[in-house]
Amino acid sequence: MLSFIRNDSRRVTPSPLRASLACRAIFLTNGFTLSAWVPLVPLAKQRLMLNDAGLGLILLSLGAGALVSMPLAGAIIARTGSRPVIISASMVFFAMLPLLASLTSVPLLAVCLLIFGAANGLMDISMNAQGVAVEHLAGKPIFSSLHGMFSIGGILGATFCGGLLHLGLTPLVAASLIAGLMALIVLGQLTGLLHGGEGKGERKHFNRPTGLVALLGLLAFAAAMTEGAMMDWSAVFLRFSRNFDEASAGLGFAAFSATMAIGRLTGDWVVGRLGAALTIRIGSMIAAAGLCLVTMADPAPLVLAGFAVTGIGLANIVPQLFGMAGKLPGFSPGVAISAVATLAYAGILAGPPLIGPLATLTSLPISLSMLAAAMVLVGLGAGLARSRG
C-alpha cells in the first residue's frame, strides 16, 4: 500500500489550492483526535480505579511515545516523503482511540498510550513537512493557518466526543465513530497530498541539533514551555493568586486559546507582510507584555486581557519556527523539523513541572513572570536566527 501511495503521488501534482486544503484537513484531524482523548481520560481513571498519581504515571506514556518517535520521523520522511508517513501514522493514531476508550488493563492502556503518542509524533512531523512542500508549491505563507486548523480541531474534538457521551453512547462507540470519521477524512485527501519532505542531497539523519537548528529548537522550547504553562497553571493562578471562583478560573485559558486560534488563522497574512523572523520577534514581545499584565495587574478584566494578549503574541511563534526549520539549506525538511519539534515538545512537557518548584521558592506570579523574560530572549534569538540564516 505504501509503495502505491508513493508511486501514485508522483504521477500528478495537485493544484496549490487542493494541496493546501488537503494539508489543512490533516492538521484538523490530528487536533480533533488528540483532543477527543481528553473527555475519555476521567472515564479511564474510573474504569481502571486509578488514583491521581497512578493516572499521572500512565499519561506519561503519551509524551514518551512522541519523544521517541519524533527524532526518528525526520529520517523516515527523508527517505519516503511525508505522504506515506501521514497516511500510515494517522491510521495507527486513529485506531488507538477506541482501545484507549475501552481497555480494562493498566499495562495495556500504558502500551496503547505509548503507541498513540508515537503515532501522533510521526503524524505531527510528517504533516509539518507536508506543510513546507505545500507552502513552496503555493508560493505564499500557510504555516500559521495550518496550526490554526489544529487548534480548531482541538476545540471540535473535545466538544464532539463530550457530546456523543452526553447522548448516552458508550466510550467505545463514541471513540470508534470519531476514529472512523477521521480515517475517512484523511483517506479522502490522498489525491491532494504532495510527496513532500524527502531529502535530495541533504542531511537525512537525526543528529544532535547544532548551529541554526539548535537555535530554532531552543526558541521553540521556550515558546512551547510558555504555552504549556498557560494550559496547566492559568486556572491555578486565577483561583489562588487573583481570587477567581471555581466557575471562572478557566476564563484565562479560554481567553488565551481564543486569541491564539484567531492569531493563527490570520497569521499567514501577517507573515506575508512582515516575514517569519519579524513576526516571531514582534509576537514574542507582545507575549512578554501580556505575561507582565497577567502577573502585575489585579483587576479581573485586566488580568484576562493579559491572557488574551499573551495568546495573540504566542500564536505564530512555533508555527513559523517549524517553517523556518523546514527551509534550512543542507537539511531534509523532515529532519530539521523533527529536531525543532522534539525540543518544542520537550518544552511543553518540562515547562509546567518547572513552574511548581519556582513558585514554591518565590511565588506563582513571580515564576510566571519569568516566562516574560524567556519570551524576550525568543525575540532576540529570532533576530539572531535571521542574521545567521
Q: Among 160, 192, 158, 177, which Cα is nearest to 24's?
A: 192
Residue 162, classified by CB atoms within 10 Å of its CB into exposed (0-12), middle (13-18) or buried (19+), is: middle
Residue 197: pLDDT band with limits 50, 70, 90: low
Distance CA 377, CA 389 (A): 18
Q: What are phi and psi of 331, to 5 degrees?
A: -125, 140
> For residue range 235-244, what is the model confidence (pLDDT) as tens digits?
888 988 998 8
Q: Which residues pair with 203 in a beta bridge?
A: 331
- Tell me the torsion sign for CA atoms 88, 89, 95, 99: positive
Helices in 81-209 by DSSP H: which ranges?
Answer: 82-102, 106-138, 143-166, 171-187
What nine digits make up the cell of 38?
481528553
More confident residue, 154 or 52: 154
CATH 1.20.1250.20 domain range(s) in the chain: 2-187, 211-388
Class of CATH domain 2-187: mainly alpha
Distance CA 312, CA 255 (A): 10
At 210, which amino acid appears?
A: T
Residue 183 has pLDDT above 80, yes or no: yes
Distance CA 341, CA 287 (A): 20
Class of CATH domain 211-388: mainly alpha
What nine digits make up the cell of 260?
491564539
User: Do the Cβ atoms of 276 and 323 come closer than 8 Å?
Assistant: yes
Residue located via cell numbers 505564530: 316
Distance CA 279, CA 320 (A): 8
Find how far residue 9's CA is from the centre of its chain.
Answer: 27
Distance CA 249, CA 242 (A): 9
> For residue range 275-324, what is the model confidence (pLDDT) as tens digits?
999 999 999 999 999 999 999 999 999 999 999 999 999 999 999 999 89
Neighbours of 213 (CB within 10 A): 24
At 118, which amino acid appears?
A: A
Strands annotated E in the chain: none
Contacts of 53 (CB under 8 A, 6+ apart): none
> For residue range 198-231, what is the model confidence (pLDDT) as tens digits?
555 445 544 555 678 889 999 999 999 998 888 7
Q: Which residues pair with 331 in a beta bridge?
A: 203
pLDDT of residue 11: 53
